[in-house]
Structure 1
Amino acid sequence: MPVLELKNIIKNYPDGQNVNEVLKEINFHVNQGEFAAIVGPSGAGKSTLLTIMGALLSPTSGSVLLNNQDIGQLSKKQQTDIRLNKIGFIFQNSDLIPYLKISDQLKFIQKISNKNPIDSDKILKELGLGHRLNSYPNALSGGEKQRVAIARAFINQPDLILADEPTASLDSKRGHEVVKIIQETVHQQNKAAVMVTHDERVLDLVDSIWQIEDGRLKRVKA
């Protein structure tokens, strides 16, 4: 059974007297232990699709199944709980809280969730951030910020990781390092992950590649 499955997803937006079809009959799945990438040109619908996967946006029609549960049928509160406890997000700009020390970034997420706490400092040390535990985000490099964002995404042991252009603000070397960390963590912890990216330099690290163009999605590498 896939961890995440999309069935016949359509997303339309009104455009004056017309309708803009952003996503057209999208079908997709990602399994446990699989790291999938979605590639495509700007404006093809990648970010919209990822936002729907994360229950941050509702499709016009179709089903989003997380562990065979249609999360589109849940209440807003239930969807919030799903995002907090079942889905980990990695954004392109890391989006760290500027007034929290690095160790506290993860502890804050643990505090507001209902998962059993694990040693957040240990995770940061494993990602090479042991010397940054008491630093604030403005003291970190771009690569270090993204490693904190990865730790934060995995801290509640979610079933699904969603990464939106995680290398966008990084050079080639640091970008490859960051995606390598995601890949290794996904495989070691047997999670499912989906990454939207323009960066073809990191596609050697994923297990499957899907291409979206003009709102239509197809699998190009199994």
Structure 2
Amino acid sequence: MLLRVRDVEKGFETADGHQPVLRGVSFDLDAGHSLALTGESGSGKSTLLHLVAGLDSPDAGRIEIAGDDIAAMDDAGRARLRRGTVGLIFQQFNLIPSLSVTDNLTFHARLAGRDPGDVDALAGRLGLGNHLDRFPEELSGGQQQRVAIGRTIAARPRLVLADEPTGNLDEATGDAMLALMRELVTDTGAGFLMVTHSSRLAGRLDDRLHLRAGRVTDPRGAE
């Protein structure tokens, strides 16, 4: 089991008092499998993804990645986790504007102390073979997202987390991006957890987890 989430709770303090966001969420994800995380805005999807990424800590429950309990790690340990074990893809491309496509693609791999492999071959699969010397501002939105995907995959994480990765793209480009992500993740044997509002995109992954008011529910609405 690559990812194990058990009875996770998370809330935040507001002007009106404590506001629970996640209420006892549990699920598993195996290596080589993909899982869509769906739900309405405010259901806790992004909060859950951030907890799995070690960007925040749960109030209760346990999150294990490859047997390691994230809550037991300090900030440095969670940072190492994100460098080597967990890869993140967001709506915002977060590319480094002063680096070329080649250097952006290899950035995370080198940060993790790993050989990024054949960058030319990866760029070719990403449709970026003719853009390696360009900078992010010279690329379209779809091309920048391809760089962001490639940068994550080049580091060969064991778990890839994606938060609405196609949200800034048109439908056709978004479909192509999801197909590419699934292909690259499958090739590396990683697990893939993606937050999406789209039932259509969710249906293209192996399984689906639906959140409603911080609880896991049936996608059709029944607990």
Which band: TM-score by shorter chain? over 0.9
Match of 1:171 in 2: 170
Match of 1:71 in 2: 70
Provide TM-score, normalisation by structure 2.
0.94
SS of corresponding position for 2:22: strand
* Percent identity between the two aligned chains: 34
SS of corresponding position for 2:203: helix
Match of 1:195 in 2: 194
Superposed displacement of residue 18, structure 1: 2.2
Superposed displacement of residue 203, structure 1: 2.4
- Output aligned runs, 1:86-125, within 5 Å: 86-125=85-124
After superposition, the C-alpha distances for 1:78-133 in whole angstroms (9 at most, x for unaligned) are: 11111000011110121111111110102222332222442223211221110110
Q: Mind listing any 5+ residue stretches in structure 2 that lack a counterpart?
A: none
Q: Work out whether residues 89 and 161 of structure 1, in 8 Å CA contact, stay in contact via their aligned partners in 2.
A: yes
Provide TM-score, normalisation by structure 1.
0.94
Structure 1 residue ranges (4+ consecutive) displaced by more than 4 angstroms after TM superposition:
none
**Shift in alpha-carbon separation, 1:167–1:71, aligned structure 2, 3 A:** same
Q: Mind listing any 5+ residue stretches in structure 1 that lack a counterpart?
A: none
SS of corresponding position for 1:131: coil
Q: Work out whether residues 38 and 210 of structure 2, in 8 Å CA contact, stay in contact via their aligned partners in 1.
A: yes
Number of residues of Structure 1 aligned to a counterpart in Structure 2: 220
When the two chains are superposed, the root-mean-square deviation of aligned CA atoms in Å is 1.5
Superposed displacement of residue 27, structure 1: 0.3
Q: Work out whether residues 209 and 219 of structure 1, in 8 Å CA contact, stay in contact via their aligned partners in 2.
A: no
Distance 1:134 1:148 in 2: 12
Distance 1:39 1:83 in 2: 23
Is 2:32 the counterpart of 1:38?
A: no
Distance 1:18 1:90 in 2: 32
Q: Match for 2:9: what amino acid?
A: I
Q: Match for 1:143: what amino acid?
A: G
Q: Work out whether residues 30 and 191 of structure 2, in 8 Å CA contact, stay in contact via their aligned partners in 1.
A: yes
Q: Match for 2:44: what amino acid?
A: G
SS of corresponding position for 2:130: helix
Distance 1:178 1:17 in 2: 41
